């Protein structure tokens, strides 16, 4: 049995996990700072780093204790080294390096986005590449072809805002708290998704754009306010959500068809969105494709997905060495050590 200790501190969750053989989660401790950042309407990098410093060792100790192991039992340590907030990443990277050095274990640098994709392997033992992955988070919207466990090809990404960012910004103008995605989803339940025809950008190809949609929602709300008209906020939320989901579903299905791959996986915080799950599942079923998505706890930032990714790097002998540094703008499929 191979045991990986995973660490994740790229944004506002401090997380540590122990995963056996890449698939069995023995522990997954997540200390969220969301309450701290909520009153600022987003993550404050300096506050995040300071909190990670306080939380990281207690979270690691808890992850080891819950898994019933000690550091000496661990085969390798995997840590997110990018993309993310530099100060936040550095806390995880420095901690992992210290642990790896002290315990004499291999250190594995994990790309956060690849970790999100691998969250799918935690839930389904038999799931394996080739796969098409839609990575949709607060910072990223990308379509990726996974030919093998260590073979990523970026097919296309957003030219401007990420899907989650669009959810967060629209939530903000509707006066909803951060993070906005779950709030919009809740509000949309009482609304009509076809009430307002918001734009669907870049009809063809694997690239996305959401800033025009965000502006369209803002313009709609401003125009109504200027005219003194009442706005049905549930309709706005439902119509906005439908516009995002339509584009994500269309482009993902087309990418899979173009690559001749019949398995699609969802990854990242926005993968928690139930309209996205239901619509994409429907399209996949109609086309004879299969859709997989992680359980909610593995959709948002967590260390179990990082340990899972690290496991497959470990099998390939892909170790980082103690010179590993944080790379805030790390791209999916790219290595910087």
Q: Is 284 left (phi over 0), alpha (psi -120 to 50) or beta?
A: alpha
Number of residues that bind Zn ion (CB under 5 A): 2
Neighbours of 267 (CB within 10 A): 28
For ligand KG4, what does the binding mask look like between residues 300 and 329, x meaning CB under 6 A? xx----------------------------
The label of the residue with tokens 């470990």 reads 314
Asked if 164 touches ligand KG4 (CB under 6 A), the answer is yes
Region near ligand KG4 per CB under 6 A, out of 31-39, 72-80, 177-185, 205-213: 177-185
- Contact present, 141 and 162 (Cβ < 8 Å): yes
Asked if 106 touches ligand KG4 (CB under 6 A), the answer is no
Binding Zn ion (rule: CB under 5 A), the pick from 18, 301, 304, 324 is 301
Asked if 114 touches Zn ion (CB under 5 A), the answer is no
Q: Which residue in 138, 146, 134, 119 sits closest to 294, CA to CA?
A: 119
Binding ligand KG4 (rule: CB under 6 A), the pick from 41, 130, 156, 182 is 182
HSE-CB for 292 with a 13 A CA cutoff: 24
HSE-CB for 226 with a 13 A CA cutoff: 6
| Cβ proximity to Zn ion, 12 vs 301, nearer residue | 301
**CA 38 to each of CA 44, 88, 266, 296, 299: distance values in angstroms, whole numbers, following the listed order:** 10, 17, 26, 20, 20
Cα distance between residue 225 and residue 319, in whole Å: 56
The least distance separating ligand KG4 from the CB of residue 286, rounded to whole angstroms, comes to 23
HSE-CB for 231 with a 13 A CA cutoff: 21
Residues in 132-161 that interact with ligand KG4 by CB under 6 A? 137-139
The least distance separating ligand KG4 from the CB of residue 185, rounded to whole angstroms, comes to 4
Cα distance between residue 130 and residue 149, in whole Å: 9
Q: Which residue in 316, 264, 320, 294 sits closest to 25, CA to CA?
A: 294
Residues in 240-269 that interact with ligand KG4 by CB under 6 A? 268-269
Region near ligand KG4 per CB under 6 A, out of 28-36, 142-150, 162-170, 204-212: 162-170
| Cβ proximity to Zn ion, 15 vs 137, nearer residue | 137
The least distance separating ligand KG4 from the CB of residue 275, rounded to whole angstroms, comes to 8
Q: Where are the alpha helices (DSSP H) in 161-210?
A: 163-173, 180-188
Number of residues that bind ligand KG4 (CB under 6 A): 19
The least distance separating ligand KG4 from the CB of residue 68, rounded to whole angstroms, comes to 28
Asked if 181 touches ligand KG4 (CB under 6 A), the answer is yes
Give the one entry of ligand KG4, Zn ion, none that residue 158 binds, where binding means its C-beta sits below a cut-off of 5 to 8 angstroms depending on kind: none
The least distance separating ligand KG4 from the CB of residue 131, rounded to whole angstroms, comes to 18
The least distance separating ligand KG4 from the CB of residue 54, rounded to whole angstroms, comes to 21
The least distance separating ligand KG4 from the CB of residue 229, rounded to whole angstroms, comes to 27
Asked if 180 touches ligand KG4 (CB under 6 A), the answer is yes
| Dihedrals phi, psi of 98, to nearest 5 degrees | -65, -45
The b/e string for 224-256 (b: 16+ C-beta within 10 A; e otherwise) is: eeeeeeeebbbbbbbbbbbbbbbbbbbbbbbbb
The least distance separating ligand KG4 from the CB of residue 140, rounded to whole angstroms, comes to 7
The residues binding Zn ion (CB under 5 A) are: 137, 301
């Amino acid at each position: 049995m191979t045991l990986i200790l995973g660490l994740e501190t790229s944004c506002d969750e401090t997380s540590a996990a122990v995963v056996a053989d890449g698939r069995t989660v023995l522990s997954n401790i997540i200390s969220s700072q969301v309450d701290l950042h909520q009153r600022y309407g987003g993550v404050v990098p300096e506050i995040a780093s300071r909190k990670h410093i306080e939380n990281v060792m207690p979270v690691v100790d808890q992850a080891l204790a819950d898994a019933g192991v000690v550091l000496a039992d661990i085969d390798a340590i995997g840590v997110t080294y990018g993309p993310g907030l530099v100060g936040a990443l550095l806390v995880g990277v420095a901690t992992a390096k210290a642990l790896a050095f002290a315990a004499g274990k291999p250190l594995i640098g994990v790309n956060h986005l690849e970790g999100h994709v691998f969250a799918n392997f935690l839930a389904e033992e038999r799931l394996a590449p080739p796969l098409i992955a839609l990575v949709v988070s607060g910072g990223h919207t990308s379509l990726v072809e996974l030919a093998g466990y260590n073979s990523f090809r970026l097919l296309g990404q957003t030219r401007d805002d990420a899907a989650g960012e669009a959810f967060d910004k629209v939530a903000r103008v509707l006066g909803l708290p951060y993070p906005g995605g779950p709030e919009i989803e809740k509000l949309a339940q009482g609304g009509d998704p076809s009430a307002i025809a918001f734009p669907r950008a870049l009809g063809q190809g694997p690239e996305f754009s959401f800033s025009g949609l965000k502006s369209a929602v803002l313009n709609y709300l401003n125009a109504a306010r200027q005219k003194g008209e009442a706005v049905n906020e549930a309709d706005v939320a439902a119509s906005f959500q439908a516009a995002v989901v339509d584009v994500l579903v269309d482009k993902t299905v087309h990418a899979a068809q173009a690559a001749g791959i019949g398995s699609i996986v969802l990854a990242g915080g926005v993968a928690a969105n139930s309209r996205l799950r239901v619509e994409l599942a429907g399209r996949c079923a109609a086309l004879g494709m299969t859709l997989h998505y992680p359980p909610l706890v593995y959709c948002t930032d967590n260390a179990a997905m990082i340990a899972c990714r690290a496991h497959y790097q470990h099998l390939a002998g892909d170790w980082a060495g103690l010179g590993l540094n944080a790379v805030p703008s790390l791209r999916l499929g790219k290595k910087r050590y």
